[in-house]
Amino acid sequence: AQSVTQPDIHITVSEGASLELRCNYSYGATPYLFWYVQSPGQGLQLLLKYFSGDTLVQGIKGFEAEFKRSQSSFNLRKPSVHWSDAAEYFCAVAPRGGSQGNLIFGKGTKLSVKP
Amino acid sequence: DAGVIQSPRHEVTEMGQEVTLRCKPISGHNSLFWYRQTMMRGLELLIYFNNNVPIDDSGMPEDRFSAKMPNASFSTLKIQPSEPRDSAVYFCASSFRQTAPTGELFFGEGSRLTVL
């Protein structure tokens, strides 16, 4: 079955430290890949997406993600975390050739930032 | 530009009552999605529309849930009768259906429903 796994439910990092949030997917073929962020009390906002080409994609707010086909992973990274990055982060996948309604979200990783 | 607008932001009701959640998508968008978010199940797609037509409602939990999109600028999600297990945050999202099969979804701020 198609699935998205975010192994870390909650991560705490110090401000200025680097960040990596993990995402693994299970799919028949390489899907389209997304990271969304949800600030408290807000809806989700797209950070970045991977469709094809360069496996390292840049997003908004200084985030990047790397697609690794061999590991079925699409981990999100940021070199230096800011306090405003505290939020919940969702990895999502959609099948190629499918419709927008096939977007499947992981359970999310909540990021806390220590001063 | 206005984003996706949802109302009410918060709703507290008693079991058995009817609940109606409303959504105004971004102007020009032709796809609309209703999601439900709970701690246990995460984000679940309930139903989505393309050009006001329901395309996939397989995520609607049961007959107590219904959704309509009478025009391009308005959609409702109705729960009747409501039950405590319906307590969740309900998100509406919209997008412009391009030639690529998936585009960016723009989410509203959600409607937090509590059924007592």
pLDDT tens string B44-99: 999 989 899 998 898 898 899 999 999 999 999 999 999 999 999 999 999 887 54
Cβ–Cβ gap B101/A49 under 8 Å: no
Locate all alpha helices (DSSP H) within chain B, ordered by sequence.
none
- Rounded distance, CA B112 to CA B89, Å? 4
Position B1 scores a pLDDT of 63
pLDDT in the model for residue B96: 83
Using the predicted structure, report yes or no on whether residue A87 has a pLDDT greater than 90: yes
Whether the per-residue pLDDT at B111 is higher than 50: the answer is yes
Task: Give the closest residue to B41 by CA, choosing from A8, A101, A104.
Answer: A104
Residue A41 or A12, more confident: A12
Residue of A nearest to B104 (CA): A46
Look at residue B61 in the predicted model and tell me its pLDDT.
Answer: 87
Residue type, B55: I
More confidently predicted of A27 and B98: A27
Q: How far is B68 from chain A (nearest CA, A)?
A: 16
Q: Which residue has the higher pLDDT, A40 or A111?
A: A111
Task: Assign A71 to helix, strand or coil.
Answer: helix
Count the neighbouring beta carbons within 10 Å of the beta carbon of residue A17.
13
Rounded percentage of chain B residues whose pLDDT exceeds 70: 93
Contact A19, A81 (CB under 8 A): yes
Check A43 against B93: CB less than 8 A apart: yes
Identify whether the C-beta of residue B78 lies closer than 8 Å to the C-beta of residue B66. Answer: yes
Range in A22-36, B20-34, B65-79, B80-94 the model is least confident about: A22-36
* Mean of pLDDT values over A92-115: 84
Backbone φ, ψ for residue B33 (5° rounding): -130, 145
Nearby residues of A2 by Cβ (< 8 Å), 6 or more positions away? A25, A26, A27, A28, A31, A93, A95, A104
CA distance A95 to B64: 30
